[in-house]
A = this chain, B = another copy of it.
């Protein structure tokens, strides 16, 4: 049997630096755990635009469709701010999500014990926090038509369309309920059903999926504005949150920041099972490309490394090895090793991006 295949897309800004550390981890698994991957690498985002004039080359798209999992660093940067909308770095990422049909974006918001002091929230509000946001990723206002800027009368009008079909809501709701069963068995669904018809349909379908197939899971519904409030007030009330593409974008970023562990948080974007039974999958850190610190050895590689841990768990069914890697990360943190984003405490040992990667390999 051939090795499972990984496509690595480092992207822009700190993407290449943090991905270099992930490669050390991958190499370790190949050498020491008999878990070798066929790794290929390609361009995405601004880097692809610079090389090919497009943020995602057709060949790269085809390759992504063919591998067992994609690992992505980050896309975007001020250099590309004035590019036409259609070739912005973000379009490369959005096209990957859409064409691979990665409808379920899993974003854990977890507070690492060693870092609880880093949150802007009080320690008792965040210590031990562990929630999972499931964001719909291939529909909603990100992709709905009609869209664009049109002329009307003598002025321009900017238009985007939120569209959700029953089956789009159904499948992401199922992902959330399945996850909840392996965790705290609680799902909170968020929309604006008091204002948007798409929210009404969302609420109705989530409730139906629950009643028909997941009645054992505790389900609640919350308006997204109240959800934003409650995340800030007492995030530990939540276990799994399921929400649409746009609300998920804001709510998961807020939740990530609340944990104080932004540089630490991974994500998985999953689609339907492929012929080999593995889901289509793309893994990426929640943080962005951080162009201001790129190339300085300041970036924290942990979010990207933990994204690879998610790949071990969700793509390769190696929860045991994922846990090993997560434990190694906890060990280096407990030892006081800190990249620049996490400095501030007394007694911490400042390390570079590369030193952090090496330390995690050593802890493995």
Which residues from chain A sit less than 8 Å from chain B, CB to CB? Answer: 76, 85, 88, 90, 94, 120-122, 125, 141-142, 144, 147-149, 152, 155-167, 192, 194-202, 224-226, 228-234, 246-247, 249-251, 253-254, 256-258, 262, 288
| Contact A165–B161 (Cβ < 8 Å) | no
Say which residue of B157, B163, B232 sits within 8 Å of A120 (CB atoms): B232
Chain B residue contacts of A76, Cβ below 8 A: 194
| Contact B149–A157 (Cβ < 8 Å) | no
| Contact B202–A228 (Cβ < 8 Å) | no
Say how many copies of this protein the assembly contains. Answer: 2
Say which residue of B122, B162, B251 sits within 8 Å of A159 (CB atoms): B162
Chain B residue contacts of A233, Cβ below 8 A: 120, 257
| Contact B148–A197 (Cβ < 8 Å) | yes
Residue of B nearest to A94 (CB): B195
Known: A157-B164, A158-B164, A161-B159. A258 touches B232 (CB 8 A): yes
6 nearest interchain CB pairs? A158-B201, A158-B198, A229-B257, A228-B254, A225-B253, A155-B166
How far does the Cβ of A319 sit from chain B's closest Cβ, in whole Å?
A: 30
In the bound complex, how far is the Cα of B166 from the Cα of A157, in angstroms?
6
In the bound complex, how far is the Cα of B148 from the Cα of A161, in angstroms?
12
| Contact A149–B253 (Cβ < 8 Å) | no
| Contact A90–B253 (Cβ < 8 Å) | no
| Contact A262–B229 (Cβ < 8 Å) | yes
- Between A144, A159, A166, A199, the greatest number of chain B beta carbons within 10 A of the residue's beta carbon is seen for A159
In the bound complex, how far is the Cα of B166 from the Cα of A152, in angstroms?
10
A-B contact pairs, 16 of them (CB 8 A): A85-B197, A120-B234, A142-B196, A156-B201, A157-B164, A158-B163, A158-B201, A160-B161, A160-B196, A161-B161, A192-B249, A228-B250, A229-B257, A230-B257, A232-B232, A233-B257
Residue of B nearest to A225 (CB): B253
In the bound complex, how far is the Cα of B226 from the Cα of A165, in angstroms?
28
| Contact B234–A253 (Cβ < 8 Å) | no
| Contact A229–B256 (Cβ < 8 Å) | yes
Residue of B nearest to A161 (CB): B161
Residue of B nearest to A117 (CB): B122
How far does the Cβ of A167 sit from chain B's closest Cβ, in whole Å?
A: 6
| Contact B162–A195 (Cβ < 8 Å) | no
In the bound complex, how far is the Cα of B164 from the Cα of A254, in angstroms?
26
Chain B residue contacts of A156, Cβ below 8 A: 165-166, 201
Say which residue of B94, B165, B197, B234 sits within 8 Å of A155 (CB atoms): B165
Say which residue of B85, B202, B231 sits within 8 Å of A158 (CB atoms): B202
Chain B residue contacts of A230, Cβ below 8 A: 257
| Contact B167–A163 (Cβ < 8 Å) | no
Chain B residue contacts of A155, Cβ below 8 A: 165-167
In the bound complex, how far is the Cα of B64 from the Cα of A102, in angstroms?
48
- Between A160, A161, A194, the greatest number of chain B beta carbons within 10 A of the residue's beta carbon is seen for A160
How far does the Cβ of A158 sit from chain B's closest Cβ, in whole Å?
A: 3
In the bound complex, how far is the Cα of B194 from the Cα of A288, in angstroms?
13
User: Apart from A85-B200, A122-B122, A160-B197, what are 5 other A-B pairs with CB-CB below 8 Å?
Assistant: A120-B121, A158-B201, A192-B249, A228-B228, A228-B250
In the bound complex, how far is the Cα of B297 from the Cα of A340, in angstroms?
51
In the bound complex, how far is the Cα of B254 from the Cα of A231, in angstroms?
8
- Between A94, A158, A162, the greatest number of chain B beta carbons within 10 A of the residue's beta carbon is seen for A158
Residue of B nearest to A232 (CB): B257
Chain B residue contacts of A165, Cβ below 8 A: 152, 155-158
